[in-house]
Amino acid sequence: MTIKAIQEDLIDEFSMFEDWEERYQYMIDLGKTLPLIDEQYKTQDNIIKGCQSKVWVHAEMKDDKVVFTADSDAIITKGIIAILIRVFSNQEPKDIIAADTDFIDAIGLKEHLSPTRANGLVSMIKQLKMYAIAYQTQLN
């Protein structure tokens, strides 16, 4: 499935909910389905800088695709990283690098986050793309 198709699915899923209370609950539920990072990767090197909560992300290449795992110590943040991993995991590095993140505005996420969580969201996206850039460099 392409990044764009996954983003469109998320937009459709979030549009089913009438208010942000329900959307937050859905994000929390998504966080519970997150492919969890192995405990050995819960290190300072894997913490995303700029997040209010602790968020660990690990990336590895499998069959020329970047596979992400993550965890967070906060349930909303865990939901946010789960959304991003759903979009970007199991994709080729070049596709991750080129992907836009307009879907975040389309589901209304950024406008419903506190400023510190919104900054954390930007940091998460930046880190996932940095992993993709590193792996793309290795492929070239």
The number of beta carbons lying within 10 Å of the beta carbon of residue 115 is: 8
DSSP labels, 71-96: EESSHHHHHHHHHHHHHHTTB-HHHH
The DSSP secondary-structure symbol of 64 reads T
pTM, to two decimals:
0.94
The number of beta carbons lying within 10 Å of the beta carbon of residue 140 is: 6
Tokens of 61: 């290449």
Tokens of 65: 């695709």
DSSP-derived 3-state class of residue 130: helix
- pLDDT tens per residue, range 23-39: 999 999 999 998 889 99
In the chain the domains, ranked by start, together with CATH numbers, are: 3-139 (3.90.1010.10)
Are the CB atoms for 31 and 100 separated by under 8 Å?
no
Residues in the chain: 140
Active site residues: 51
- pLDDT tens per residue, range 103-119: 999 998 888 888 888 88
Q: Residue 98 — very low, low, confident or very high, per pLDDT cuts 50/70/90?
A: very high
